[in-house]
Amino acid sequence: MPANQLSFRVEIRVTPREGIVDPEGQTIARALEDLGYRGVSRVGSGRLLKLELQAPSGEEARDLVTRMCEELIANPVIERYEIQLAPVAPGAPAEPVPPAGPVAPAEPTEPAKP
């Protein structure tokens, strides 16, 4: 990494804009009800992207990620995005990669009784 570059961890959350139909969220809501979970409403779906990048400053890093979102990651007509940016301390260990596939819940859960 060049001396004038800083490292940043970035999280980008992409969700449908208000008023845009969210078929995935609707499907999840129906499936939860079919499984006996009552009282769930307004299920929204989206994507979470995590990345690390180098830039001269936090402002330039945010500008770069904003351009990435507008050019590729999100469709600004129907989606909104939120950017969280955190500097990475020099020499800090890389963030662990989460395991692939579903993660078992910490404790067994049961669906709500209808």
Confidence (pLDDT) at 106: 46
Confidence (pLDDT) at 111: 47
Confidence (pLDDT) at 75: 95
- Contact call for residues 87 and 6 (beta carbons, < 8 A): yes
Nearest to 47 by CA among 21, 16, 14: 14
| Cα 88 to chain centroid, rounded | 19
Where are the domains positioned within the chain?
6-19+45-88
Confidence (pLDDT) at 41: 87
Nearest to 48 by CA among 21, 69, 67: 69
Q: How far apart are CA 86 and CA 51, in angstroms?
A: 11
Sign of the alpha-carbon torsion through 28, 29, 33, 39: positive
**48, containing H or E segment:** strand 47-55
Local mean pLDDT, 10-residue blocks, the chain (114 residues): 85 95 94 94 94 95 96 95 91 56 47 48
Distances (CA, A) of 70 to 11, 35, 75, 81: 15, 38, 7, 9
Asked whether the whole model's pTM tops 0.85, one would answer: no
Confidence (pLDDT) at 4: 86
Classify domain 6-19+45-88 at the CATH class level.
Answer: alpha beta
Confidence (pLDDT) at 11: 96
Confidence (pLDDT) at 109: 43
